[in-house]
Amino acid sequence: MITRGLSYGLLSARRRVRDLILPVITTATGAFLLVQVLSLAGSVRRQAASLGNGAEVYRAVLLISVVVLLVGVVEVAVCATRTISQRTREIGVLGAAGVRRAPVVAALLVEPVLAALAGAVAGSVIAVVGGAAASAAGLSSSAPDAAGAAAGVILAIAVSLIASLLTSALPAWRAASVPPIRSLSSGG
């Protein structure tokens, strides 16, 4: 039954793809920054050391990139919450038709998870390809570290997915828990 909820969520996400563009771009920006910082960690540390306390400057740069990534994920959650409130009647119809809570929650979580995943992957790919291209063209004074880039990609995708699930699960669960008659009568 969960697979049907996921299929229904995919169909809904395809219909609402334009509403997901901004959250995807914001998440991609955060993922890009995180991957760039981790792939250029050695260079960032050396340059930070010339400014004074290299470790503190590096931690600040890393923290800023993670915060930007989380801002993107929060935007995904806001988009998901808005979607849920707009789909009140639809959720009520599903409940009235006998669809259980779990498939409805799964359907409602598809959009935020896909938006976060798409943003994290896009930003990571742009960072890795852009960093390698800039280094090959001589536009960068240091080559990106492959291990740092891989760690950045994994971290960006994991943080995006986990945070989107954590921020979207409660609104989806609450919406799916509302009795169908109340959802249908309040509408949205």
Cα–Cα distance between 8 and 101 in angstroms, integer? 14
List the pLDDT tens digit at each of the 188 positions of the chain: 788 888 888 888 888 888 889 888 988 988 898 898 888 877 777 777 777 777 787 778 778 877 877 887 788 888 888 888 888 888 888 888 888 999 999 999 998 999 999 999 999 999 999 988 988 888 877 778 888 899 999 999 998 899 889 888 999 999 899 888 888 887 55
Sorted by where each begins, the domain ranges of the chain are 2-178
Can you give the pTM of this predicted structure?
A: 0.83
Is the Cβ–Cβ distance between 38 and 148 less than 8 Å? yes
